[in-house]
Amino acid sequence: MRPFVYERATSPEDAVRAARGKVTANLPPVQAPGQFIAGGTNMTDYMKLDVMRPEILVDVNGIDRNRYGRIEEFDGGIRFGHLVRMAEAEEHPAVKAKYPVIAQSLQLAASQQIRNMATLGGNVLQRTRCDYFREATWACNKREPGSGCSAMDGINRRHALLGTSDQCIASYPGDFAQALIALDALVETQGPKGNRKIRFADLHVEPGNTPNVETVLEPGELITFITVPSGAWTRRSMYLKIRDRQSYEFAVTSTAVALDLDGDTVRDVRIALGGVATRPWRSREAEDALKGKPLTPETASAAADAAFAGAKPRKYNAFKIPLGKETVIRALLETKNMEA
């Protein structure tokens, strides 16, 4: 691990000031010299692998927990402080009862030790598990822009088929983010230029020609809150995760579904896909295929086809198309059977 200066911030202002550090050229946040650390489950891992190379590491755990470590229900939704731990959110009674897709997406992720450590703010920013990204001796456009992509013709079984580019096919690994994008979450941030709100759907970006740019955040910009609006669809929601082993594993394919039914007819539906895309992935195509129609195995199947219509498989990951479709179909039909 490279040397760094450790700083402990006691407020978001403090953290932003410390992380801004010395002024450098236009580097994306993941390559900026100042980095935040909270749970540390992603950051320390990638620092040991020499993938993350912060010069200043700003510990945000000293920020007021009474404000930024709380879950608050309000009229019309629920608000999570960025310091809420994954385990705290998954166990929260209101989250379990009213937003099951959120509780499940957290509970099915990582291990309890990691969920006790990892914060929600850090969770949504976790970086890809692409082995060629993690192992610093391989060419990787995300880690070293312009160096090439070893995954393209390598062992790309775990890689993305949606939102890819000819520069990068690394998949976004998270689960919670799929629930957030399905439920139209909003992210509040504090940065060098002040506070702003970002639609969760706009937070992450596709790799395109700059795979090292993963979000619209600026260097030194800290996620402070995540807000999820409630709706008729939030109670009837679930997260289905298909893995190589039953627990403590990233998704091969997954689906977040939230459903509002009028009898058997789909009034509204939200569908997000995990394990198959380069960023948290909302499938409007699948949603549009279902809206106003009865939810049956046939219409669910048509929605699944629409979800993967744009998929671009590589040598080893084509199996994710039929598997991903089955995941969507099963999630839709199981959600239909939930009591709303």
Partner 1 sequence: MAVNNGEPGSAERQSGFTRRGFISAGATTATLPLIAGRALAGTPAQRAEAPDGDGKMNVTLRVNGQDQRLGLDSRTSLLDALRDHIGVTGTKKGCDHGQCGACTVLMDGKRVLSCMTLAVMAQGQDITTIEGLARPDGELHPMQQAFIDNDAFQCGYCTPGQILSAIGCVNEGHAGSDAEIREYMSGNLCRCAAYPNIVAAVQQAKTEMKEA
Q: Which residues bind partner 1 (CB under 8 A)?
A: 1-8, 18, 21-22, 33, 37, 39-41, 44-45, 47-49, 55-57, 59, 61, 87, 110-114, 116-117, 246-248
Who's near 36: CB < 8 A, 6+ residues apart? Answer: 15, 19, 58, 60, 122, 222
CB 266 to partner 1: min, Å: 32
CB 62 to partner 1: min, Å: 10
Helices within the chain (DSSP H only): 12-20, 43-48, 65-68, 86-91, 93-98, 100-107, 112-117, 120-123, 131-134, 176-182, 200-203, 284-290, 297-307, 320-336
Burial of 101 (0-12, 13-18, 19+ CB in 10 A): buried
CB 23 to partner 1: min, Å: 12
CB 281 to partner 1: min, Å: 25
CB 46 to partner 1: min, Å: 10
Of 61 and 301, which has the nearer Cβ to partner 1? 61
Who's near 197: CB < 8 A, 6+ residues apart? Answer: 186, 187, 188, 189
DSSP 29: G
How far apart, in whole angstroms, are the C-alpha atoms of residue 288 and residue 180?
19
Of 31 and 61, which has the nearer Cβ to partner 1? 61
Is residue 211 within 8 A of residue 168, CB to CB? The reply is yes
Of 31 and 299, which has the nearer Cβ to partner 1? 31
Of 61 and 299, which has the nearer Cβ to partner 1? 61
CB 1 to partner 1: min, Å: 5
Angle, helix 297-307 to helix 320-336, in steps of 10 degrees: 140
